[in-house]
Amino acid sequence: MRQYMLSNVLEEGYFDLHLHSTASDGIYSPRELVQKAHVAGLKTIAITDHDTLEGVEEARQAGLDYGVNVIAGVEISTKFKGRSIDILGYNIEANSELTGILSRLREGREERALRIIKKFNELEMPITINDVKEFSEGNIIARPHIARAIVKKGYVSDYQTVFDNFLADGKPCALDKVILSPEEGIALIHRSGGKAVLAHPLLIGDDKVVRELMEFSFDGIEVWHRKQNKDDNARYQQLANEFQVMMTGGSDFHNDKHSIGQFGLMWEVQNKSEAKDVHIVWQNTKVAMEDRNQLNGHKSFILWFTGLSGAGKSTLAVEVEKELFRRGIRCFLLDADNIRYGLNKNLRFSPEDRTENIRRIGEVSKLFVEAGIIPIVASISPYNADRAMVRSLVPKGNFIEIYVKCTIEECERRDPKGLYKKTRAGEIQSFTGISAPYEIPVNPEITVETDKLSISEALNTILQFLQKKGYLFDTGLVD
């Protein structure tokens, strides 16, 4: 597989070179990260999990599917003058020395986690290692997993407060990791064929220390980061030029509170040149989605039915809406044909218009979710990338893709709207499944085979999934 070099990326722009997956302390799998990067329009990303390369191969395979270049990366923690200094390694080649040291660092993380857990217990906030492993899911245990366990137990209201009050440097439950010096970290990356980059210099907290660090043999500095403003970026660009090292950037993405970014000089120039003629400011509300969910007595999420025309999407969606409404659950059917009568009446069926059609339905669905209502969408939505785009609009777990599977022969036999007949007669030029593509979902949450199941059986399959996964609190299967 081709190794996509860092120098190529810096010339082309539009990248995010600092992403964390479930291989360490992120909430998205490597494949899901690539999918999100594709939706964001990125050309290149780097998977930079803490002390591991485990997520790289999965990300590279997904990159082939989505047309995203994936750089093998890692984030290594070091210590300098009492400060935590993170180093990003790019274009890393695994070898016995590297894997051995990373393994020891990971083991040190678990030992540290046990000691941190003990400190929380001493503060009368008892948790166990199993509570934490529920969030690490068998991967590296890191502080975010401990924070989530504390929040789940109800000891602290939110994740960030756990960090600010207990886990940040100098706080009651803070402990150092098994750690290298910056010189050791840089040398390890170089011996593994990689480039060593100083991560998020602003978070070091002292530009004098940053300047001292740049005297080491770094190959680059992360001049763009989600926590840095334009002045910070300019200051670190100047430092990069002074030390004649590469400029990189990344979001340091872990979860839905972060946004996968677009970084690079080309991106910066374009954003400076694009005048923002419309001055708009997002108006925050004091009523959160969680508040609305609590008031309604149920979660809000998107139910997205996809499949060929005639597969039974609308039929099933109508039945699901009826059953949820019977249970007192706030929901609303968004049928794609109905929406084309109004919001999307100016769109036709070209690939571009199909994508815009789904984008608009996705944005409306997102508003429904934020309002505490379950949107039930029935749409052919033929492209995987378009469905992935909608998935990326809402928090993880709030998009449930239901693949209504049915053979093209059975769909054409049913032909409830007479569209197959018109297509065969040449009256329709671009019809999904016949003269236009349909991309089968890669990993849908639910698959119902309507050429094998009755409507009630398919409905119960969906209800069982929602109940089992905690979206519904009463099985209430229908006869």
Catalytic amino acids? 381
One-letter identity of residue 23? A
Alpha helices (H) in 67-206, listed in sequence order: 96-122, 129-136, 143-153, 159-162, 182-191
Token pair 């539009």 is at which residue? Answer: 14
Measured between alpha carbons, how far is 39 from 1 in angstroms, rounded to an integer?
Answer: 23
Contacts of 436 (CB under 8 A, 6+ apart): 349, 382, 430
User: Shortest CA distance to 70 belongs to which of 12, 98, 30, 24?
Assistant: 30
Residue 49 and residue 167 in contact, taking contact as beta carbons nearer than 8 Å = no
Following CA atoms 198, 201, 204, 205 in sequence, which dihedral angle do they give, to the nearest 10 degrees?
160
Question: The tokens of 426 are what?
Answer: 């040449």
Measured between alpha carbons, how far is 446 from 305 in angstroms, rounded to an integer?
Answer: 9
One-letter identity of residue 439? E
One-letter identity of residue 158? D
Question: The tokens of 335 are what?
Answer: 């049928």
Residue 272, classified by CB atoms within 10 Å of its CB into exposed (0-12), middle (13-18) or buried (19+), is: exposed
Q: How many other CB atoms are found less than 10 A from the CB of residue 409?
A: 9
Q: How many other CB atoms are found less than 10 A from the CB of residue 468?
A: 10
User: Shortest CA distance to 223 belongs to which of 242, 209, 202, 243?
Assistant: 202
Residue 337 and residue 377 in contact, taking contact as beta carbons nearer than 8 Å = no
Measured between alpha carbons, how far is 334 from 361 in angstroms, rounded to an integer?
Answer: 8
Q: How many other CB atoms are found less than 10 A from the CB of residue 124?
A: 7
Residue 140 and residue 109 in contact, taking contact as beta carbons nearer than 8 Å = yes
Residue 406 and residue 448 in contact, taking contact as beta carbons nearer than 8 Å = no
